[in-house]
Structure 1
Amino acid sequence: MAVRQINNYAEIVFTCSEAVHQNSELVAEEHSIVRVLSGQLKVIESNKTYFFETGETFLFPKNRLARLIKTGKDDLPYRAIIVKLTQDVLKAFYEHKKNEVFTVFKTDAIIPLSKGPLLDSFFASMLPYFDLEYKLPRELSELKIQEAIAILRSINDSMDHILSDFSEPHKINLVEFMERNYMFNMPIEKFGYLTGRSLTTFKRDFKKVYGTTPQKWLMQKRLELARYQLAEKNRKPSEIYLETGFENLSHFSYAFKKQFGFTPSELSKAK
């Protein structure tokens, strides 16, 4: 069945996927807290994979790349609540803390949050909101975000250092970033933004380094990774097409055959 998403305001979202398996890319522009209500969530980053089960919660930092694989479990669909900690609310919150000094740093990983009554009661209090026949008042939405910030600060000593960072991505090493994140299927504009470049500058710098366009290079890299997974790791096409940046199996098979002259299935059978 189709994905059901209730979005009273963009900051607080209830999502329910009754599909057996659903895949999506995530590049969050805001820090987000995610609570898995049922099912399982697999989060794949460039260098690490996380599994979150029913009742588990984590902070997904802003401007991080990940692939999300949502799966039902124990005859229940995947269901989750996502609370986005918007820049406006965070800035207003820390404006009142301006007498306190925080050493800002960017986290390079998802942060699992320990189970406890504060988080449990916070998410339980929001479930009735999704039965409303009208939009959640913005004032209440902002209050819930402030409550989430206060809870995070109380259960994790490093939160102030992360949440008080309001800087934009700065210009970083393009080659290191692309070699680490090429398997993520997102717009070229987003690759540019996350490397601290405008689209024009990104394409220009990319051409200087690689001698080709980002689109051609990305396709080549993803297909090479897919061939390695099939030939050397003995994995099945259905297991790796999502992880290598393709949206569906048919497109993956078509592109693979166009590049190598045989389909992924034919390569698997030859092993």
Structure 2
Amino acid sequence: MEFETKYITDDIKLTHFEGKPFKTEVIFEHHILVWFISGETKIIQAEETHTFNAGDIFLIPRNQLATVINYPKDGKPHKTVAMHLTKERLEAFYSRHKATGKMQPLQKVYHFSNHLLLESCMASLIPYFDLGPDLPPDIAVIKIEEAISILRSINKNVDGLLANFEDPGKINLTTFMERHYMLNMTMERFGYHTGRSVSTFRRDFKKAFNTTPQKWLTGKRLELAHYHIAEKQRRPVDVYVEAGFENLSHFSYAFKNRFGYSPQSLSDK
């Protein structure tokens, strides 16, 4: 078995993965609360990279673009319990509970370390995954609302995230691209996430950067990779995926073509 997913409902799942690490670019449609049982995940966003291991619990905001790389680790599978906190579920919750604090989207990943109450809530879901249709349908609703209540008790500012129901519209292209250039997406996806058609995205991009998207993206990704290898003493094999390249050979070719020497020769200095 390489990959298996079990569901309590569409909003609560248990994933079990064995095999080679896999990477994907995603935008999270819903807030996601994740409990790590084993393995490792890197979440690469514009300003920082988060690494999560066994025992970690974290909350990822919705409408956030990220590169996600999942790894089995220490001879154990990549195994997590994930709970989607959907807009509909949160609207129902906050119709009965007064939100506190400023209602604004918070652009960060929340990390909860060794919190017994939250871990107990997530761990209590494990027996339910094998019950299937025998599980009472309202159990999932109860467990999600329990998790929301615990999150609010842990962090008084989390309402600013969970109780904000606005959807993003057309956004500043320059700011978006400077933050997300390492994400390996199609022009259609870049256009979608900036609120533009492909043709409008290309036109606005040319106006903002005076070059084509592909040339600019390749240059920015190579500069990022060069920085990590030269300044952070990281190996090319550990850098190219995070910088937005699909394979090592293409990265090495583009790197040498740009800088006049291979990434390996830079790493060996």
Partner of 1:145: 144
Partner of 2:16: 16
Partner of 2:154: 155
Partner of 1:210: 209
Secondary structure at 1:23 match in 2: strand
- 177 and 258 in structure 1: CA distance in 2 versus 1, 3 angstrom threshold: same
Give 1:3 deviation, angstroms.
Answer: 3.3
Q: Which moved more, 1:137-146 or 1:46-55?
A: 137-146
Partner of 1:81: 81
- Give the TM-score normalised by the residue count of structure 2: 0.83
What is the alpha-carbon distance in structure 1 between the residues aligned to residue 195 and residue 150 of structure 2? 32
Q: Percent identity?
A: 47
Give 1:126 deviation, angstroms.
Answer: 1.1
- Give the TM-score normalised by the residue count of structure 1: 0.83
Give 1:165 deviation, angstroms.
Answer: 0.6
Which letter maps to 1:106?
P
Q: Which runs of 5+ in 2 are unaligned?
A: none
Partner of 1:27: 27
Check conservation: 1:5, 1:14, Cα contact below 8 A: yes
Secondary structure at 2:124 match in 1: helix
Secondary structure at 1:69 match in 2: strand
Secondary structure at 2:19 match in 1: coil
Which letter maps to 1:128?
P
What is the alpha-carbon distance in structure 2 between the residues aligned to residue 173 and residue 199 of structure 1? 15
Give 1:62 deviation, angstroms.
Answer: 1.1
Secondary structure at 1:82 match in 2: strand
Check conservation: 2:21, 2:72, Cα contact below 8 A: yes
After superposition, what is the alpha-carbon deviation per residue over 1:15-35, rounded to whole angstroms, capped at 9, x for unaligned?
A: 222236343333211111011
Q: Which moved more, 1:195-204 or 1:54-63?
A: 195-204
After superposition, what is the alpha-carbon deviation per residue over 1:251-271, rounded to whole angstroms, capped at 9, x for unaligned?
A: 4345546666775446656x4
Secondary structure at 1:141 match in 2: helix
Give 1:157 deviation, angstroms.
Answer: 0.8
Check conservation: 2:30, 2:63, Cα contact below 8 A: yes
Check conservation: 1:256, 1:262, Cα contact below 8 A: yes
Q: Which runs of 5+ in 1 are unaligned?
A: none
- 6 and 107 in structure 1: CA distance in 2 versus 1, 3 angstrom threshold: same
Which letter maps to 1:107?
L
What is the alpha-carbon distance in structure 2 between the residues aligned to residue 27 and residue 45 of structure 1? 11
Check conservation: 2:104, 2:164, Cα contact below 8 A: yes
Secondary structure at 1:152 match in 2: helix
Partner of 2:105: 106
What is the alpha-carbon distance in structure 1 between the residues aligned to residue 119 and residue 100 of structure 2? 30
Over 6 Å off, 4+ runs:
none
Give 1:187 deviation, angstroms.
Answer: 3.8
Check conservation: 2:182, 2:242, Cα contact below 8 A: yes
2:194 paired with 1:195: yes
**How large is the RMSD of aligned CA atoms in angstroms?**
3.0
After superposition, what is the alpha-carbon deviation per residue over 1:147-193, rounded to whole angstroms, capped at 9, x for unaligned?
A: 22122122221121210111112443321221122011234344334
- 130 and 207 in structure 1: CA distance in 2 versus 1, 3 angstrom threshold: same
Number of residue equivalences? 269
Partner of 2:173: 174
- 101 and 54 in structure 1: CA distance in 2 versus 1, 3 angstrom threshold: closer
Counterparts of residues 53-92 of structure 1 (less than 5 Å): 53-92=53-92
